[in-house]
């Protein structure tokens, strides 16, 4: 996903997040713990925790880069080709957490990441190689998959699940 302006990036993040939140609001919270929404028994709550964890990983990468460090990506002990195992580890980490807490962190994480994005100059978001850890890529190359693309994927997963329900 390539962006030509910071405005376009922020608008896309906002639009996709709003669409996800609207869809979530249309589903009774009593169903958020039901298994089978995605993968091996994931619930809506698990999917929300997953998105929050990936947003927080991006923020860790960004902050490490701001400190001149190269973060271990995507997460300590995992390589990019091991993201299915990482996603399972995220699921195990969060699956027993209270829905209220997961939802609060979901909201706070989005606000945190949005504040960072809005506060950055366009060049830092869109120009390749501005942080050592992004290599030849722009920061948005890592940001979009952890925000707007992730929200859009969650919408597809939830819609598929809802269509499968009697």
- Strand partners of residue 75: 78
Decide if 136 is inside a domain.
Answer: yes
Decide if 90 is inside a domain.
Answer: yes
What secondary structure does DSSP assign to 62-78, as a single string? HHHHHTT----SSBTTB
**C-alpha pair distances (Å), 9 with each of 14, 18, 112, 120:** 9, 14, 16, 12
Give the model's pLDDT for residue 131. 85
Supply angle C-alpha 60, 107, 34, rounded to 5: 105
Give the model's pLDDT for residue 132. 85
Decide if 55 is inside a domain.
Answer: yes
CA atoms within 13 A on the CB side of 79: 1
**78 phi and psi angles, rounded to 5 deg:** -130, 145
Decide if 57 is inside a domain.
Answer: yes
Decide if 148 is inside a domain.
Answer: yes
d(CA 7, CA 12): 8
138: domain CATH number?
1.20.120.450
Decide if 1 is inside a domain.
Answer: no
Give the model's pLDDT for residue 122. 95
Decide if 129 is inside a domain.
Answer: yes
Domain span at residue 96 reads: 6-164
Question: Based on the structure, what is the number of domains in the chain?
Answer: 1
Tens-binned pLDDT, residue by residue, of the chain (166 aa): 789 999 999 999 999 999 999 999 999 999 999 999 998 789 999 999 999 999 999 999 999 998 988 899 999 999 999 999 999 999 999 999 999 999 999 999 999 999 999 999 999 999 998 888 898 999 999 999 999 999 999 999 999 999 998 7
Give the model's pLDDT for residue 114. 96
Helical H runs in the chain? 6-25, 44-66, 83-94, 99-119, 122-126, 139-146, 148-164
Decide if 101 is inside a domain.
Answer: yes
Give the model's pLDDT for residue 2. 83
């Amino acid at each position: 996903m390539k962006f030509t302006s910071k405005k376009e990036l922020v608008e896309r993040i906002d639009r996709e997040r709003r669409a996800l939140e609207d869809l979530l609001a249309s589903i009774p919270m009593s169903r958020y713990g039901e298994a089978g929404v995605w993968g091996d028994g994931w619930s809506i709550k698990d999917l929300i925790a997953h998105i929050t964890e990936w947003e927080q990983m991006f923020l860790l990468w960004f902050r490490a880069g701001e400190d001149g460090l190269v973060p271990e990506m995507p997460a300590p002990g995992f390589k990019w080709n091991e993201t299915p195992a990482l996603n399972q580890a995220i699921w195990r980490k969060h699956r027993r957490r209270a829905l209220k807490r997961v939802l609060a962190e979901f909201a706070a994480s989005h606000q945190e990441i949005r504040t960072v994005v809005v506060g950055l100059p366009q060049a830092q978001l869109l120009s390749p190689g501005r942080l050592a850890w992004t290599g030849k890529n722009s920061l948005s190359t890592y940001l979009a998959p952890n925000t707007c693309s992730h929200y859009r994927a969650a919408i597809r997963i939830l819609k598929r699940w809802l269509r499968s329900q009697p």
